[in-house]
């Protein structure tokens, strides 16, 4: 039985659907990602899984339990890190861990947990004095202190610098290695591609695609990207006739083509036939960001925009 089951989930606000028939399952031991543009319905979906919102229709189960009617039992197996979380600024890390441990009948020992998450030196530091990365590690610790079977992490690394983000990724990998199933909501393509076993792309309240990161990339219209600066202009008719070609861009004298391996071979043949030299020639595989754009028509946000 899947750890999480979501079937035809629907939720509207003021008559406007936020989630419109979302279905997916999360298997034991997975890191399952939910990816989508702002306002796509990601957080509403996850809040229904957490039991924080009551669905208008559909079925949600966490370890076979209804998060609304069996909320207390679900809370025993589910650890949650919310998209926006705050604590009283004068509360120390130690006090926060002791307080949250007191909420559970069989809490995990928070001391080794604090050590594992690199919080031992901050135990007597007040919450208001913690850095962004330290706060995120504390919220992960608070979600783990109940010894959950499943963790929900919503926009975990938004606002963190690249080093703190990568440190947090390693923590998530360690958590999964310890046997915890993870449901991860993220804006970051690199984060989803590195961490997730499978990803549901949600767009306009619906699942636009559900696959492994590699499977989503293979769906991209141009799975291979070729870019170069030609020594002389190429005939646009020759370029348009390239086999497998998905798109062409010209910027600052540089040509970028999206296509397939067949397109790469044809480009090389075209360059040789027309005696055009390709300066700074680069051939790369498409990324999850390319697949996201194809699926939603929305480019993945830059780090600055997401923060």
Q: Is residue 294 part of a domain?
A: no
* Residue at a domain's end among 216, 249, 271: 216
Q: Is residue 307 part of a domain?
A: no
User: Sheet harboring 278-285: ordered strands across?
Assistant: 247-251, 254-259, 224-230, 278-285
Q: Which residue has the tokens 């498409």?
A: 286
Domain carrying residue 157: 2-216
Whether 141 has a pLDDT exceeding 50, the answer reads yes
Burial pattern 142-174, b for ≥16 Cβ within 10 A else e, equals: bbbbbbbbbbbbbbbbbebeeebbebbbebbee
Biggest CA-to-CA distance, the chain: 76
**pLDDT mean across residues, the chain:** 88
**Same domain assignment for residues 251 and 184:** no
Digit-coded pLDDT (tens) for 24-43? 999 999 999 999 888 889 98
Q: What is the pTM of this model?
A: 0.76
**Same domain assignment for residues 127 and 264:** no
CATH number of the structural domain spanning residue 252: 3.30.70.980
Please, which residues have CB within 8 angstroms of residue 123's CB and are 6 or more apart in sequence?
92, 93, 94, 97, 114
Q: Is residue 164 part of a domain?
A: yes
At residue 83 the predicted structure's pLDDT band, cuts being 50, 70 and 90, is low
Digit-coded pLDDT (tens) for 232-248? 999 999 999 999 898 89
SS3 163: helix
Q: Are strands 150-154 and 78-81 parallel, antiparallel or unpaired?
A: parallel
Please, which residues have CB within 8 angstroms of residue 263's CB and are 6 or more apart in sequence?
224, 226, 242, 243, 244, 245, 257
Q: Is residue 303 part of a domain?
A: no
Digit-coded pLDDT (tens) for 101-126? 998 888 889 998 898 888 999 999 99
- Partners of residue 203 on adjacent β-strands: 206
**Same domain assignment for residues 30 and 101:** yes
At residue 155 the predicted structure's pLDDT band, cuts being 50, 70 and 90, is confident
Q: Which region among 77-86, 143-152, 205-214 has the lowest average model confidence (pLDDT)?
A: 77-86
How many domains, the chain? Answer: 2
CATH number of the structural domain spanning residue 44: 3.40.50.300
Question: Among candidates 303, 291, 230, which has minimal Cα distance to 258?
Answer: 291
d(CA 287, CA 166): 19
d(CA 126, CA 307): 24
**Same domain assignment for residues 110 and 193:** yes
């Amino acid at each position: 039985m899947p750890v999480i089951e979501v079937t035809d989930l629907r939720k509207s606000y003021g008559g406007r659907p936020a989630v419109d028939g979302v279905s997916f399952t999360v298997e034991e031991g997975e890191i399952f990602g939910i990816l989508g543009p702002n306002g796509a319905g990601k957080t509403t979906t996850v809040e229904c899984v957490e039991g924080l919102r009551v669905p208008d229709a559909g079925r949600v189960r966490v370890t076979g339990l209804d998060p609304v009617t069996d909320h207390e039992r679900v809370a025993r197996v589910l650890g949650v890190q919310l998209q926006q979380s705050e604590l009283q600024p004068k509360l120390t890390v130690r006090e926060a861990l002791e307080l949250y441990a007191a909420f559970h009948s069989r809490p995990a020992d928070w001391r080794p947990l604090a050590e594992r998450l690199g919080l031992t030196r901050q135990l007597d530091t007040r919450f208001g004095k913690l850095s962004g990365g330290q706060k995120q590690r504390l919220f992960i610790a608070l979600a783990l202190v109940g010894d959950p079977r499943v963790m929900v992490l919503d926009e975990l690394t938004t606002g963190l610098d690249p080093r703190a983000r990568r440190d947090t990724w390693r923590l998530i990998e360690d958590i999964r290695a310890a046997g915890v199933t993870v449901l991860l909501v993220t804006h970051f393509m690199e984060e989803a591609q590195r961490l997730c076993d499978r990803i549901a792309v949600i767009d306009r309240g619906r699942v636009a695609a559900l696959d492994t990161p590699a499977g989503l990339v293979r769906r991209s219209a141009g799975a291979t990207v070729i870019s170069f600066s030609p020594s002389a202009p190429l005939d646009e008719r020759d370029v348009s006739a390239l086999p497998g070609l998905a798109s062409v861009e010209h910027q600052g004298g540089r040509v970028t083509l999206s296509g397939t391996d067949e397109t790469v071979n044809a480009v090389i043949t075209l360059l040789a036939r027309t005696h055009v030299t390709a300066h700074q020639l680069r051939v790369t595989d498409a990324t999850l960001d390319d697949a996201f754009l194809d699926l939603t028509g929305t480019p993945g946000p830059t780090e600055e925009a997401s923060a």
